[in-house]
């Protein structure tokens, strides 16, 4: 069911500062910042060729990333995103196996313009998992 690792997401308190570290210190190629109001974040992608790192900054205090940063003020790894061929079939299979899909269970459009879902971290070794339609 799982395809390739699409990205590792890191929540950051300051997107510009985190971007500068990746760009200036590590020499990484970065995307332009992209606001995603439906997800409550602004993102920058670090291109690694075979996968990406997603830097996430909350848009406002209501963002789920604000809550994460309240517990982890310096930021940290937020989630892993895996690609799946058919997101609805993957969702239905996971739910049948007892996995919890967050939100209303319906895919939303993510940063890459493709449907995404999030799975409860308690069902996946304490790790928030995002699934993205390949």
CA distance 18 to 24: 10
pTM summary value:
0.94
Read off the pLDDT of residues 18-41 as tens digits, 9 standing for 90 and up.
999 999 999 999 999 999 998 999
**Burial letters 2-29, b for 16+ CB under 10 A, else e:** eeeebbbbbbbeebeebbeebeeeeebe
- Residue 130 is among the residues annotated as catalytic for this protein: yes
Q: Which of 54, 57, 130, 132 is catalytic?
A: 130
Contact indicator for 1, 93 with CB cutoff of 8 Å: yes
Q: pLDDT at position 8, please?
A: 98
List the domains of the chain with CATH numbers: 2-133 (3.10.180.10)
119 pLDDT more than 90:
yes
């Amino acid at each position: 069911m799982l395809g390739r690792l699409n990205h590792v997401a890191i929540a950051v308190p300051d997107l510009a500062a985190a971007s500068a570290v990746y760009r200036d210190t590590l020499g990484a190629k970065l995307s332009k910042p992209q606001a995603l109001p439906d997800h409550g974040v602004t993102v920058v992608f670090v291109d690694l060729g075979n996968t990406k790192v997603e830097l996430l900054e909350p848009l406002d205090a209501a963002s789920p990333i604000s809550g994460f940063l309240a517990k982890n003020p310096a930021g940290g790894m937020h989630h892993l995103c895996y690609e799946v061929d058919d997101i609805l079939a993957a969702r239905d299979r996971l739910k049948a196996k007892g996995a919890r899909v967050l939100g209303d269970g319906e895919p939303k459009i993510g940063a890459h313009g493709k449907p995404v879902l999030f799975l409860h971290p308690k069902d996946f070794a304490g790790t928030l998992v995002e699934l993205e339609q390949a």
